[in-house]
Structure 1
Amino acid sequence: MRSPISMIRWPVSILRMAIGGRTMVRTGQVGDGREQVLLEHVRAHATAGDPDSVVDTIDDFARHHSVLMNVGDRKGLLLDAAIQRAAPALLLELGAYCGYSAVRTARLLPDRARLVSVEANPDNAEIARAVIEYAGLADRASVVVGMIGDGGATMRHLAIEHDFGPAALDFVFLDHLKTAYLPDLRSIMAAGWLHPGTVVVADNVKVPGAPDYRRYTREEEGRAWRTIEHKTYVEYQSLISDLVLESEYLG
């Protein structure tokens, strides 16, 4: 049962996030320091080397202290199921934030599989690396500072340092700037990194929303993509509905 303090903190946290909307879009952080507080909370309350403990601790923090821009526990199950179906060896995540989804993903991977998470905010990237390392998954997940739409610098880095190349990617998770979903996916496709059977999961397609991305997947249904629209809710509550799209590349 939620304590009286947490019942006050959580709505205030949502209000702060709403007020800091422009800051989030511009910087990738809410602006009240909650991301650094989360790292301290993980180190204080999660078990080192236990990814499940880290995931549970972040979920608890987001429910009872400060809401976070994570895929969250409910939608995280959809991500888990997609990863288990795809059995990927090389994964790309766009939007590391504080490392929650990287830990959630990497904990399901076999030893030889690798996740590379691209994060535009260097401070977020540092926190995500620390969370991943604390979970004991630094050998499976790495964080790159950059963005796909930066004129090619990040994509060149991924190709040179992480062996991204023709038909290399088995799984992509989109959870960054929503207006970048479609152009970034097109850049990845143009580079030839996908292969028939590559799975792309996109969070927050309804809220905040990625309407051009959703329209594209519908227009390409049965041609370039086969997509399932999972009806769900915005993370850590059950009032605001959301969509997670799971798409299989047909080539």
Structure 2
Amino acid sequence: MLRGAERMVHILGCRFWGAVRGSQIFGAHIFCRRVCGAELASRGQQSQGLCRTVPPAPPPSSSCRACPQHTSSPGDPSAMVSPAIALAFVPLLLTLLLRYRHYLALLYRAVLRLWLRDRLSGVPREHRAFQYLLAHAVPGDPRHVLSTFDRWSCRHEHLSCVGPVKGRIVERLLAERAPQRVLELGTHLGYGAVLLAAGLPPGARLYTVAVEPRHGAVAEKVIRLAGFDERTVELIVGPTDAVIPRLRQHHGLAQVDFVFMDHRKCWYLRDLRLLETHRLLAPGATVLADNVLFPGAPHFLQYAKTCGRYRCRLHRASLEYFPAIPDGIAELRYAGDGDSAPGGDTGVHRVPH
């Protein structure tokens, strides 16, 4: 998500700089033809001298911003042609800022402000969030723990969690499928683990994988604070590409009925292929992948649509805690190796905010 916000701001800046750069070259071209009687050799060669004299040559007192041979006269109104054209792009800049203001706000809240608070407070952001939970959440109440997380993310510091809007999608699908063995890849401070554990049917078990140890340490405290013990939720810490191959041998997980992915988007396809390779997906298993539209997981979606092993559906929603930024959850129904999934193209379901 953060890389997507940074990429959006980078694109915005590049577009504006290209517009201003183009306006300067274009203005120099007009002025050069008017004053010097010269023509531009190339619009991209401004720094190398864009004019060549065409007889009859103008007197040296004439000015041209594009010609290094001449000096600009302060009183010449033609010297303002290029800045004037550049100022004409100010409305374009304002339009782009207005259009992408939500992405700029995401960059500020999710990157800049958190970085600043980390430096000023000396307390990691994970511990700040957990301290807020301890002070405001009701122990043993998963719903209250989740709502406290949401308040912290909306009012204080942004957390990359599922959020309440997409959380309702996950809860509904859990209730429909009633899985007995659930695997979460990429728990972040325990939000997704608490959400999944709260929707498990009786006797079911959740295996949640925390990629980073610092996230896993906080996630375990959050899971226990919500009232789930090790018999219901087993926390595994380590890289997903190292954990998945040993799930059967080290953790006794022969196959899974429900998978929820919410870690790095570039790992979605890799981990899905690992689940297939090690035959960990039960027939009819459901695979959910968050943030497939923003920041996006195009290779994952393309594979799921074309490999013939899944029936795909896209649940459109919004990015967590940013209703104006579109996002979605991909739902994959596993049809088995070598079987063609009927209706394999993607259906779309929109979720109200």
Aligned counterpart, 1:7: none
Give 4+ residue runs of structure 1 displaced > 3 Å after superposition.
11-14, 18-22
> Does the 8 Å CA contact 1:82/1:246 hold for their aligned counterparts?
no
Aligned counterpart, 1:103: 194
Distance 1:215 1:20, change over 3 A: farther
Between Structure 1 and Structure 2, how many residues are aligned?
Answer: 226
Matched, 1:46 2:137: yes
Aligned counterpart, 1:164: 253
Aligned counterpart, 1:27: none
> Does the 8 Å CA contact 1:91/1:116 hold for their aligned counterparts?
yes
Unaligned runs of 5+ residues in structure 1 are 1-10, 23-30
Instruction: Report deviation, 1:13.
Output: 7.9
> Does the 8 Å CA contact 1:148/1:187 hold for their aligned counterparts?
no
Q: Which moved more, 1:128-137 or 1:210-219?
A: 210-219
> Does the 8 Å CA contact 2:190/2:222 hold for their aligned counterparts?
yes
> Does the 8 Å CA contact 2:291/2:329 hold for their aligned counterparts?
yes
**Structure of higher RCO (CA pairs closer than 8 Å, 6+ residues apart):** 1
> Does the 8 Å CA contact 2:133/2:145 hold for their aligned counterparts?
yes
Instruction: Report deviation, 1:18.
Output: 3.2
Aligned counterpart, 1:208: 295
Specify the SS of the correspondent of 1:242: strand
Q: 2:211 aligns with which of 113, 120, 125?
A: 120
Instruction: Report deviation, 1:233.
Output: 0.6
Q: 1:233 aligns with which of 291, 315, 318?
A: 318
Matched, 1:218 2:305: yes
Specify the SS of the correspondent of 1:239: strand
Aligned counterpart, 2:275: 188
> Does the 8 Å CA contact 1:38/1:61 hold for their aligned counterparts?
yes
Question: For the residues of structure 2 that align with 1:170 and 1:248, how far apart are their CA atoms?
Answer: 10
Aligned counterpart, 1:18: 111
Specify the SS of the correspondent of 2:160: coil
Opposite residue 196 of structure 1, the aligned amino acid is P
Question: For the residues of structure 2 that align with 1:107 and 1:245, how far apart are their CA atoms?
Answer: 21
Specify the SS of the correspondent of 1:192: coil
Matched, 1:147 2:239: yes
Specify the SS of the correspondent of 1:197: strand
In percent, how many aligned pairs have the same letter? 35
Aligned counterpart, 1:174: 261
TM-score by length of 2: 0.61
1:125-162 superposed Cα distances (whole Å, 9 cap, x missing partner): 01000000000012311211112223xxx235422342
RMSD, matched Cα: 2.2
The equivalences for 1:47-62 within 5 A come to 47-62=138-153
Question: For the residues of structure 2 that align with 1:111 and 1:40, how far apart are their CA atoms?
Answer: 31
Opposite residue 164 of structure 1, the aligned amino acid is L
